Structure 1
């Protein structure tokens, strides 16, 4: 499998941490939450935590405090197909393919639910063929990009498809929830909206660089599912985010790296570029320590986190795009994501 094209998209509106803090202070929610909530939110939004701003599908920050099921569903319905379509168009243009050359579409999201699935809306907006194979993957959280790629790989390997369009789209502002729990508050301050798309092909296309998917591995640990998940309350998604996440992410990601490197007869020192889901700055620091890396090794993940916040499943598309734009050295690249489950995934890429 080869990556033939890559595209990303975000909403038009970008909000800084300072703007978010001011909006929170002026909202009705400020009085509804207790002093501890004020301290937690102030710490996240006014101190250096590796994030400067986020793109949110909101005309103004006042809208973020309208938290009810109908408003949140409408926000997802209006923005998820649009963001997915915009990212996909860029990926198709880069691959020099027409929409009707796509044989399968795999769409991942965890921030909203549609039936029929989001894939139908994306296929309609792109004018894909009526016989396109369409798949919706839900509930995989921030980890979803690699399972998405893995299904695409299977479709290509089966001989049924020549080109598969992979899309991850998250409208995190459509999964907003506030209460006095520190994990909930931190989550509300970390996540941004965005979409990533990749055209995946059976043979190498005329892309800027030749990117081949060589091997991959996954690790699912249901015993730790309560460390990071969505739960439903009052008809809305409430994010559960615990202190265990950085350690779990680093430990699971390291196990997967070791497994794939042993199979490939390689060493982590061979990796030329690290394409890693950040989660947050504490996660990056934990990965850096566990893997014995230098901050420079994770610079692309840190840059995307700083500029966009945590984009959930779409994040690694942005990191891969940043590494390509920077002309990162050819050779072995490592792609990794983790998320709800607790699940973690990794893939070895060969980039020329």
Structure 2
């Protein structure tokens, strides 16, 4: 008797959205951690140790120019909002055009545009401004996801995938563009040091279309997990002393996130007959060294499994909502993904929240 072995599968539908292309962009100037410390003349040992032990080598940032005395003056909230608008638009346009080029498409093909950002607030939003600046069809459907944080890329991908599935054959693009320099508030506190040592400017775009046989991976399903008890662990709030918004990261965030990674991944794979060992590609948000280590431990992964995430953190820092797409781009460059391979995308951010998606090549 020949045994019949059922292969692991995940649910598919006729109009499953597929990823056609990805593109990334950064602000023009990159800085080593030592150069950032020198730029702001930071010598406090506790603060410098945070920068030097971050597993980050370089980040792209738009820092204020030095004055006549060589010091870089604090920027007002108005100046930071201007920086967000200018930097986010410039990077977002570059990432969008790079994404369309890889997808073999033009701006004229675009039917839905979703823009994601947390590093500033604009009305009209980035989607309307990009449509105006790039000459995109004014009838293009659009949406803006604002203020959700580093997890927002997968929240938005979920919505864009739904739009794509209901509009077969039409092109949708999600653009995550985060001018983290616009959230850079310098003082001598450890709260500020943790944030300032971690984030960098970056944008990433991904193109989707359903009802086709493109070689890119199909987006199969999503799963989320919010941790209400940790609602204040990651937050962007008003600093009355500095008179600007300031981001806060609780030191326990990596451990809280790691402890819930297994829960959300198991939920993602529920009903698919897949096990974690069936996942060949892991594309996780580059949230920080301790976050990455915690995910590795709690999911039983290796550093090789998260090599793209580790490399993005090293070369760009945490670029917020688009980080996982920087990792996806590196996976594509390796050319190791094969038809039938499964991948898990994972982001985490304020809420506190973990978001996941299952894809298959």
Deviations 1:130-174 (A, max 9, x none): 111110111110001101101101112223872111000100110
- Partners of 1:171 and 1:68 lie apart in 2 by 16
Q: Are 1:78 and 2:86 an aligned pair?
A: yes
Q: TM-score, normalising length from structure 1?
A: 0.91
- Partners of 2:252 and 2:23 lie apart in 1 by 32
- Partners of 1:217 and 1:189 lie apart in 2 by 30
Q: Which residue matches 1:233? A: 239
- Partners of 2:336 and 2:261 lie apart in 1 by 22
Q: Pairwise mapping of residues 178-193 of structure 1 onto structure 2 (< 5 A)? A: 178-193=186-201
Alpha-carbon shift at residue 126 of structure 1 (Å):
2.5
Q: Which residue matches 1:343? A: 353
Q: 1:161 to 1:228 in 2, by over 3 A?
A: farther
**Number of positions where the alignment pairs a residue of Structure 1 with one of Structure 2:** 338
- Where structure 2 has 5 or more consecutive residues not aligned to the other structure, the ranges are 1-16
Would you say the 8 A contact 2:257–2:291 is kept in 1? yes
Q: 1:64 to 1:148 in 2, by over 3 A?
A: farther
Alpha-carbon shift at residue 215 of structure 1 (Å):
1.1
Q: Which of the residues 55, 63, 73 maps onto 2:60?
A: 55
Q: 114-123 vs 81-90, which deviates more?
A: 114-123
Deviations 1:195-246 (A, max 9, x none): 000111113465xx42110111112233311001111224522111011211
- Partners of 2:276 and 2:116 lie apart in 1 by 29
- Partners of 2:148 and 2:347 lie apart in 1 by 11
SS in 2 for 1:321: helix
Q: Pairwise mapping of residues 1-352 of structure 1 onto structure 2 (< 5 A)? A: 1-25=17-41, 38-45=44-51, 47-58=52-63, 60=65, 65-159=73-167, 162-204=170-212, 206=214, 209-234=215-240, 235-330=243-338, 331-351=341-361
Would you say the 8 A contact 2:261–2:298 is kept in 1? no
- Partners of 2:308 and 2:66 lie apart in 1 by 28
Q: 1:65 to 1:173 in 2, by over 3 A?
A: farther
- Partners of 1:121 and 1:216 lie apart in 2 by 29
Would you say the 8 A contact 1:13–1:59 is kept in 2? no
- Partners of 1:194 and 1:291 lie apart in 2 by 27
SS in 1 for 2:271: helix
- Where structure 1 has 5 or more consecutive residues not aligned to the other structure, the ranges are none
Alpha-carbon shift at residue 76 of structure 1 (Å):
1.0
Would you say the 8 A contact 1:176–1:237 is kept in 2? no
SS in 2 for 1:141: coil
Q: 70-79 vs 51-60, which deviates more?
A: 51-60
Alpha-carbon shift at residue 18 of structure 1 (Å):
1.1
- Partners of 1:61 and 1:349 lie apart in 2 by 46
Larger Rg over CA atoms: 2
Q: 214-223 vs 331-340, which deviates more?
A: 214-223
